[in-house]
Amino acid sequence: MGAPHKWHDWKKMERVIGIDLGTTNSCVALIDADGTPQVIPNRGGYKTTPSIVAITESGKRLVGHIAKRQSITNAENTVYTAKRLIGRKWDSAQVRAARKNSGYNIVEGPHGDVRIQVQDQLYSVPEISAMILQEMKFVAAEACPGEELLKAVITVPAYFNDGQRQATKDAGQIAGLDVIRIINEPTAAALAFGYGKDLQKLIAVFDLGGGTFDVSILEIGSGGVFRVVATAGDTFLGGEDFDARIMDWLIDDFRAAQGADLREDRMALQRLKDAAERAKCELSVVTESDINLPFVISVGPSNEPLHLQRTLDRATVEALCSDLVERCIEICRGTLVDARLRADELDEVLLVGGMTRMPMVQRAVAELFGREPSKNVHPDEVVAIGAAIQGHALMSDEENLILLDVTPHALGVLTTGKHFEELIAQNTTVPTSQTKNFTTSRDAQTAVKILVIQREAEELQPLGEFILTGLRSAPKGEIEIEVRFSIDSDGIVSVSAKDLETGIEQSIQVTATSGLTAEEVHQMMENANEYLVDRKHSDESEGVRQHAEKLVAEVEKLFPQVEAVVASSDFGREAIAKARTVLERTRDALDRRDVDAMKETSESLARTLRMFKGVVTRPS
């Protein structure tokens, strides 16, 4: 990367550490004296540090390579992939999955959150992440003797929700860092790629790391504007899942051949995990890899030690993992639909994350986008570099850099009848603020409960709630309440509600530590009706709108599949073009809140949906 920017008076300016806090590895970058972003190697000379924390029997804390090296002999007290747990609730599917495969103890915290037991101590996930951040701060500080480095920009997957962002910020604070901004990893990668080059390009960033997958489509415009057009991802899809497939294959094979279950032995599992990952990485370069684990079980069923010896080839790994890659590609297709772009309209595809070294991943990306991915970025380093650039721009009030990121989830409130009323649509540019007016839903209702909901992949997830009290007793529908949602530049959400008659206001900042237990959440959903607000328009128009929105979502979802099936015929292409027009008209009617237009276009769209369903269910 060239020197994009000579900074004025840089010596007087406090430097900001750019930290890529990865699931598997973390990386730190700083802007050097020439104004060039540099990745800082750790003491061992490595540019990335494993995101692993361990506590030894004598209570010593180990982070990074040193923690990794002792992980086999101290599996129970070695915490890896903590990022998968950050900001998650105890009873979430993701935490359940993590518990199944982890060598350390994950236990329930006091607020339905997650705690990790290391030696005899319980740690919250932000505390564990803070230890990694502290290590990265230390790596940076060693490169700059005498300089106090306190400010940081930390990156998170674009698809992280509010709770996960907040928890990451908490981790920074625990580590003694002033986190001046949280930015999305793909945005950081795009920044590292395009900053200072005066490009005008549409790019896709495909980021497959150890634990998460993200894809973003960005527009780099003149004057240093980086605008995210659409983003999507899965915070539970990454290299770990590939490793788990290889592990399962080895375990099944071993059980069949030797009659012993490796899952019952924690140390064997940890060795297997390391071996599976090593084989996977090797198979990115060669087509066969030998896995050798002598004495994997020290005492087998007939009292003798057992050894594992197996050859794994690339074709087998690809067969074991092809559906994981397909999941990434499906998400990319959906993002293109959200961005209203065809794959061939993109100018560049960037690969980020260690897993993108896998040939099957590269092939699938090249096939989808119809072009070879760019070779100009280093998949392990770009994100930290982008974070350092953003940190520098924030400190120097850089006018040549404007980041326009988007919110990855739709946000809104729950209204009577458990309808989700959206206030902020997915992929809205942040920071943003939106208001909508509601009314009471019952006669003489003097309090309303505002239930803040995030819609993540069609699932409604409560983020928090608060009650606005002291309303005048009046017939239902008479009292008007203005609800305002704001998302700041870190992607963190706050919500307020105001009685428009008296001006009385209540607000919350939605945080991960709002501490809802599963039961509370369930209870909230159940009890919500009696307090809920009503959307301020007639039931009929509400029904029409919801029907139209549902049709749009269903048609959009099927679009890529239908396109793939019918695109080869003239008739098919014509049908697709027509469907696209109907979809556009419905979206337009929704945007304009034009109920009559919604009714009309919904009829056409319902026909399109029937046709689409026919195409995708037709036997080939």
Minimum CB–partner distance for residue 379 and ligand AMP (Å)? 7
Interacting residue with ligand AMP among 17, 23, 123, 411 (CB under 6 A): 23
Minimum CB–partner distance for residue 23 and ligand AMP (Å)? 5
Q: Does residue 109 interact with ligand AMP by CB under 6 A?
A: no
Interacting residue with ligand AMP among 55, 177, 297, 358 (CB under 6 A): 358
Burial class (CB in 10 A: 0-12, 13-18, 19+), 173: middle
How many separate helices (H) and strands (E) can be counted in the chain? Answer: 14, 29
Minimum CB–partner distance for residue 239 and ligand AMP (Å)? 2
- Cβ closer to ligand AMP: 277 or 348? 277
CA 116 vs CA 55, 86, 99, 412: distances in Å = 12, 11, 11, 32
Whether the Cβ atoms of residue 218 and residue 229 lie closer than 8 Å to each other: yes
Q: How many residues does the chain have?
A: 620
- Cβ closer to ligand AMP: 357 or 418? 357
185 flagged as catalytic: yes
Interacting residue with ligand AMP among 25, 124, 155, 270 (CB under 6 A): 25
20 flagged as catalytic: yes
Interacting residue with ligand AMP among 109, 353, 386, 412 (CB under 6 A): 353
Interacting residue with ligand AMP among 4, 17, 24, 203 (CB under 6 A): 24
- Cβ closer to ligand AMP: 209 or 462? 209
Amino acid occupying residue 366: A
Reduce the DSSP state of residue 118 to 3 states and report it. strand
Minimum CB–partner distance for residue 27 and ligand AMP (Å)? 8
Q: Mask: binding to ligand AMP, 194-223, rule CB under 6 A, as x and -?
A: ---------------xx-------------
Whether the Cβ atoms of residue 22 and residue 129 lie closer than 8 Å to each other: no
Among residues 127, 162, 170, 185, which one is catalytic? 185
Q: Does residue 270 interact with ligand AMP by CB under 6 A?
A: no
CB under 6 A: which stretch of 28-36, 137-145, 181-189, 354-362 binds ligand AMP?
Answer: 354-362
Interacting residue with ligand AMP among 22, 37, 87, 109 (CB under 6 A): 22
DSSP assignment of 473-533: P--TT-SEEEEEEEE-TTS-EEEEEEETTT--EEEEE--GGG---HHHHHHHHHHGGGT-E
What the block records as the tokens of 147 is: 């300089």
CB under 6 A: which stretch of 19-27, 96-104, 221-229, 611-619 binds ligand AMP?
Answer: 19-27
Q: Does residue 277 interact with ligand AMP by CB under 6 A?
A: yes
Minimum CB–partner distance for residue 111 and ligand AMP (Å)? 28
Nearest residue to ligand AMP, using CB? 239
Whether the Cβ atoms of residue 222 and residue 198 lie closer than 8 Å to each other: yes
Q: Does residue 354 interact with ligand AMP by CB under 6 A?
A: yes
CB under 6 A: which stretch of 28-36, 138-146, 277-285, 584-592 binds ligand AMP?
Answer: 277-285
Q: Which helix (H) or strand (E) holds 267?
A: helix 266-282
What's phi and psi for 581, nearest 5 deg? -65, -45
What the block records as the tokens of 208 is: 């497959």
Q: What's the rounded Cα separation, in Å, for the pair 246 and 244?
A: 5
Q: In what order do the strands lie in the sheet with 410-415?
A: 419-424, 410-415, 448-456, 459-468
Whether the Cβ atoms of residue 447 and residue 471 lie closer than 8 Å to each other: yes
- Cβ closer to ligand AMP: 44 or 146? 44
- Cβ closer to ligand AMP: 284 or 437? 284
Whether the Cβ atoms of residue 377 and residue 185 lie closer than 8 Å to each other: no
Q: Does residue 386 interact with ligand AMP by CB under 6 A?
A: no
Reduce the DSSP state of residue 227 to 3 states and report it. strand
Interacting residue with ligand AMP among 263, 357, 378, 599 (CB under 6 A): 357
- Cβ closer to ligand AMP: 25 or 514? 25
Which of these, 353, 423, 339, 411, lies nearest to 382 by C-alpha position? 353
What the block records as the tokens of 476 is: 């239902």
Minimum CB–partner distance for residue 354 and ligand AMP (Å)? 2
CB under 6 A: which stretch of 17-25, 71-79, 191-199, 533-541 binds ligand AMP?
Answer: 17-25
Whether the Cβ atoms of residue 374 and residue 189 lie closer than 8 Å to each other: no
What's phi and psi for 82, nearest 5 deg? -60, -25
Minimum CB–partner distance for residue 377 and ligand AMP (Å)? 12
Q: Does residue 280 interact with ligand AMP by CB under 6 A?
A: yes
Burial class (CB in 10 A: 0-12, 13-18, 19+), 399: exposed
Q: Which helix (H) or strand (E) holds 126?
A: helix 125-143
Which of these, 124, 56, 51, lies nearest to 85 by C-alpha position? 124
Among residues 113, 162, 170, 207, which one is catalytic? 207
Catalytic residue list: 20, 83, 185, 207
| Contact residues: ligand AMP, CB under 6 A | 22-25, 209-210, 239, 277, 280-281, 284, 353-355, 357-358, 380
